[in-house]
A = this chain, B = another copy of it.
Amino acid sequence: MTESRLVGRLGCYAALTDAEKSFLGRIEVQEKPLGNGQTVVRRGSNAHRVFVLKEGWAIIRSEPVRGRSSILWIHLPGEVIGLGDMAPSAAPHTIHMQTDGVVCPFSRDSLGELLRDLPRLSALLVGLASLDQIAMRDHCAALGLMTAEDRLVRFLLQLRLRLALADSVSGDRFHLPFNQAEIGEAVGMTSVYVNKLLRKLSEQGLIRVEKPYMRLLDRAGLEAKIGFVDRFSDLDQSWFPNPRAA
């Protein structure tokens, strides 16, 4: 059996013990294929299950306000869906597949076991949740302060970075399974304006749209333009507890 993306991703940060690998294996046993657009979690439903997103992309979308909603978070393959939403008994947001994919549902009780038995792996997941939290804060700052154009550029750079860290991309061309209306939902503007800005950036030679891909022709320039900072690579583990002996 090939190693799961989740194990691969966590393994980047620390050499996992057998007990830790075994736990991760157990939560990925049940596979459930889902098609593009299908619901993973419905808002208000009982949140006793969490998911590993084994294949495909998933998105968290807000409730609509005056007919529009926004994309609050994008889950990439190999991530755990619902880590940040598991506190309430009712799911706070609806989560849909954005592409075809496979999810592995497991019970939230497993997370209790995780905290009880595998403190080091718990710390790793807490750390990753913290990085997501920081990313959300950056997004809030972007929505409050940046122009639409800079927000759009930030969105592209951030997505490329996350894909690169997940090893799904190496150069400056990456998969972007969103239409312009959805990009607008993710960066807080209308599809009409997304179109005008994508066009403008293309004319300036900064990007190239190669549906369903996106190519950044001058990534360093774009990063400098908006003061982009990589928030995902710095995960300090010095405070983690030692993995418990088997």
Asked if A132 and B131 make an inter-chain contact with CB atoms under 8 angstroms apart, the answer reads no
Question: Which B residues lie within 8 Å of A65 (CB)?
Answer: 141, 145-146, 227
Asked if B115 and A123 make an inter-chain contact with CB atoms under 8 angstroms apart, the answer reads yes
Q: In angstroms, how far is the closest chain B Cβ from the Cβ of A240? A: 6
| Candidates B89, B113, B115, B134; contact of A92 at CB < 8 Å | B134
Question: Which B residues lie within 8 Å of A63 (CB)?
Answer: 141, 227
Cα distance A70–B112 when bound, in Å?
36
- Counting chain A residues whose Cβ lies within 8 A of the other chain, the interface size class is 35 or more
A119-132, CB under 8 A of B: which get 1 and which 0? 11011001111111
CB closest residue in chain B, given A236: B89
Q: With an 8 A cutoff between CB atoms, is A241 at the interface?
A: yes
Asked if B144 and A188 make an inter-chain contact with CB atoms under 8 angstroms apart, the answer reads yes
Cα distance A204–B69 when bound, in Å?
28
Q: With an 8 A cutoff between CB atoms, is A111 at the interface?
A: yes
Where the two chains meet, the residues of A that have a C-beta atom closer than 8 Å to any C-beta of B are 47-48, 60, 62-63, 65-66, 68-70, 72-73, 83-90, 92-93, 107-109, 111-113, 115-116, 119-120, 122-123, 126-134, 136-141, 143-146, 188, 227, 231, 234-236, 238-242, 244
23 A–B contact pairs at CB < 8 A?
A62-B141, A65-B141, A65-B145, A69-B145, A70-B144, A70-B145, A72-B137, A86-B236, A87-B126, A88-B134, A88-B234, A88-B236, A89-B234, A89-B238, A90-B234, A92-B137, A113-B241, A116-B241, A129-B130, A133-B133, A133-B136, A140-B140, A140-B143
